[in-house]
Structure formats: C-alpha cells, structure tokens
Amino acid sequence: MSANFVALAYLVAAVLFILTLKGLSSPVSALRGNLFGMTGMALAVLTTLTVHSVQNVTYILIAIAIGGSIGAVVAKRIQMTQMPELVAAMHSLVGLAAVLVAMSAFNNPFAYGIVAHAGDALHSSNRIELFIGTFVGAITFTGSIIAFGKLSGKLSGKPLRYAGQHWLNLGLGIAMIVFGIAFFITPSWTPFLIMTAIALLLGVLLIVPIGGADMPVVVSMLNSYSGWAAAGIGFTLNNNMLIIAGSLVGSSGAILSYIMCKAMNRAFINVILGGFGGESAVADSGDGKQKNYRSGSADDAAFLMGNASSVIIVPGYGLAVARAQHAINEMSHLLSEKGVNVRYAIHPVAGRMPGHMNVLLAEAEVPYEQVVEMDEINNEFADTDVVLVIGANDVVNPAAKNDKSSPIYGMPILEAHKARTILVVKRSMATGYAGLDNDLFYMDKTMMIFGDAKKVVEDVIKALA
C-alpha cells in the first residue's frame, strides 16, 4: 500500500478517535462514541498490517484473535463493581506493551525501520524516545497493578507510608535519569535494563502510599501515563497513528486528573506524594462518649419519600456493590407516578473511578435528564424534602465544609446535609473508603437504614406499591 494511502487512512482513524472522545463526553452520545472508537481502531490496525515492513501477519492475526477472545469473555462476565479494577488492569497491559516494544526495537532497530542498515547505531533522538517510552510504560505497568490490587480488595486500600519514602522516590528518580543518560551516551543493554528495573520499582512505590479516597485520581492519572507511553513508542516507530492515539489518551487523562483533583480540592502533586485515605476514625462525640444516631426501616423511608414533593438520590459505591441500580430506577418510577420530583446527584469522584455512577445509572436506563452533576444540583438541596444517600459516604461528609482538621476539608461535596430530611442506606456505621467518620449520620434530621442496598430498595418498592 502506498505511503499516501497509509497516511490518509491513519488520518481518518485519528478523526474517528477525536469523535470518540466527543461522543464519550455525554451518556446520550456514548454509544455512538464507542462505535467511532472501534471503527477507528479497526481501521488503524488493518492499515498497519498492510505496511510493507510488517511481516508474519499470520502470527499477528492469531495474537489478535486470542486477545480479542479473552477480551470478549472478560467484557461479558465483568460486573459493574469490577469496572475500576478492570480499567487499571487494562492500563497495566498498555504500559507493559510499551516496555516490550521498546526492548524489541532496541534489540533490532533495523527490523522496525528505525535505522537504514543492519548494525547502524540508534540516532540520539531515538534513544530519548526509547528512554521516555520505556520508563513511563514501566511505571504505568507496576503502578496499575498496585491500583488493581487496591481497587479489587486484594491489597489494602489504606496508604502504606514509611519514613523517608519521598527521599527514596527522589533518589530512585534521579538514578533512573542517570542510567537513562548513560543509555543515551552509550546505548547498551546494561543501563537500559537497570533504568527499566528502577522504573518498575518506582511504579510500585508511587502508588502504595496513595489511599482509597484518591483512587479516582490515580485511575485517570494512569490512563494518562498509558497514553504518553504509547505516544513515546509511536515516535520511535515513526507511527503517526500511535502518536496521535497516545496523545489523545494522554491529554484527556491529564485533563480528567485535573478535574478530579479540583473536585476533591486536592493538588495533583499532593496526591502523588501520598494521598489521604487511611485515617482511622472513631465515632465519638469528642468527650469519649459514643455518638447517637437514629435508625429506621424501609417502610419509614417509603412513607417519607412517598409523601414528599421532591427527592434527591445520592448514589455511591455501595449501590454498585449491591447491584441495586435497576431497583433504584424502579423505585424512582413509582415515586414519579406519585408526583414526586426525583433526581440523582452525581459527585465527580463518587465510586472508584471517574464517571462510575454515570455508567451505573446509564446501565439501568435511568433517564438522562434526572441525572444532575454536583455544581448544578447543590443549590437545590436546601429546598428538597428528602435526600436518599445510598452507598455514599465521603462525598456527602459535612466535615469538608466545617472541620478544618479533616483531611478532606475544602473538598467540594454534595450538600445533602441542607435537605429537610436525610435517609442513609448503609450496611453498618463503618467508615467509607477514605476511612473518615461522617457527621451527617448523626444529625437529628438523618435516619439510618441498615442493610444491603438492593434489599432495602426492594422493600421500599413493596411499601410504595
């Protein structure tokens, strides 16, 4: 295939990727965006296979078939609650691919068209590209594995901190750069492998000190890293499509990380240097006495919501764990039939990854017009009769507003505490993912309803019907 046709095909694929991002910006157009993305990727892969330098196409097609089959099975079996760790696992594979491609390209640059003749030395720019692509990919690989472990519960969500951790990370970062410079001066396997090993270790050490409350930022940050790793390798391979796709992923992930940090009133550098999320909170009143709270039943909740004029539902990770999204949608329909104005309030970092609650509600076919973002709905809580907090904790914690000693002080929250009546569905009085107690649970106008979220909502539906 001619070079001009390849360039044109890559350009079309790049446009489709841009349309993908635009489509994914709204639940209404998300399906169309995914179709654009799949079409663009298929076009990019097929075009790459036609390039004259690509050999052993049969092996490549076999690998694609195996990987595609595994992906199809995983996509069919994966539960919505497992989506965050699945995303982290996918990021790790992108990082690993970048490292392996860089190693292969360094081992035989002539086969990749990096040098004109076998045995030629790598150009200085190629060494820089290999260095950047390799260390970013290595950090992404091991960092994503740790994130996967924390999100899946295989590792503790609490931050692992130790004396001198920042100095150790700084020292390793400097050592990685030193060996990268050595590789640049004299390209050989020894500095390359040492640099890669340090980067793999750094990926672990950068993520283990980050607590559960900061995990949405970590997920989007690793997404960005995986894109930059792919773009770096794209420069080495002189593949414009890989550069464009990687840059789109990297820049969108960076923008999303910024949005997540802003939503949490956190500086990105503070997240990387060790986030909050492991504090052990005790439910006392400050003088050693246990705090009092009011509990009720599903029947009580049904009566209060059925006789309200407006209800705001605040979903959280507990809703996803209980798989209660379909039940909550059915409950909303019953309330709407009674003339109740029902809306869903979405916090940018609710759940375990950006957009987690939006995806969850979209799966249950909750009407898009009922799903409202935090900035738009916060002014309406004060005029709301009942707020139903189901599975959420940290994103409605008033300590972010009134407790300067709290680690989340200054973080924008859904101001559920301003509503006339607050219903909170939880399994117990245990703290949320950030490990912080919540004063909302002890307010006089709050009623705690203990139990599995899906079971509670189903009981509410029976009472309403």
Task: Kindly write down the DSSP assignment for every residue of 50-115, as one continuous string.
Answer: HSTT---HHHHHHHHHHHHHHHHHHHHH--GGGHHHHHHHHHHHHHHHHHHHHHHHHH-TTTTTSS
Q: What is the pLDDT of residue 1?
A: 60
> What is the layout of strands, in order, in the sheet containing 310-315?
371-373, 341-346, 310-315, 386-390, 421-426, 446-450
Q: What is the pLDDT of residue 278?
A: 44
Specify the length of the chain in residues: 465
Q: For 179-222, how does the pLDDT look when each residue is reduced to its tens digit (9 = 90+)?
A: 999 999 989 999 999 999 999 999 999 888 887 667 778 888 88
Q: What is the pLDDT of residue 432?
A: 67
CA distances from 350 to 24, 35, 84, 361, 391 (A): 18, 27, 12, 12, 10
Q: What is the pLDDT of residue 280?
A: 41
Q: What is the pLDDT of residue 109?
A: 87
**Which stretches of 357-401 are assigned E, i.e. beta strand?**
371-373, 386-390
Q: What is the pLDDT of residue 290?
A: 66
Report, as ranges of residue numbers, the positions in the chain whose pLDDT lies below 70. Answer: 1, 52-53, 80, 212-213, 270-290, 432-435
Q: What is the pLDDT of residue 277?
A: 47
Q: For 110-167, how does the pLDDT look when each residue is reduced to its tens digit (9 = 90+)?
A: 877 787 777 777 888 889 989 999 999 999 999 999 988 888 878 877 777 778 888 9
Q: How far apart are CA 202 and CA 127, in angstroms?
A: 21
Q: What is the pLDDT of residue 403?
A: 84
Q: What is the pLDDT of residue 287?
A: 46
Where do the domains of the chain lie, and which CATH numbers do they carry? 78-272 (no CATH), 298-464 (3.40.50.1220)
- Which residues belong to the active site? 394
Q: How far apart are CA 272 and CA 48, in angstroms?
A: 36
Q: How far apart are CA 216 and CA 352, in angstroms?
A: 6
Q: How far apart are CA 233 and CA 98, in angstroms?
A: 6
CA distances from 374 to 55, 113, 335, 350 (A): 52, 51, 22, 11
Q: What is the pLDDT of residue 434?
A: 61
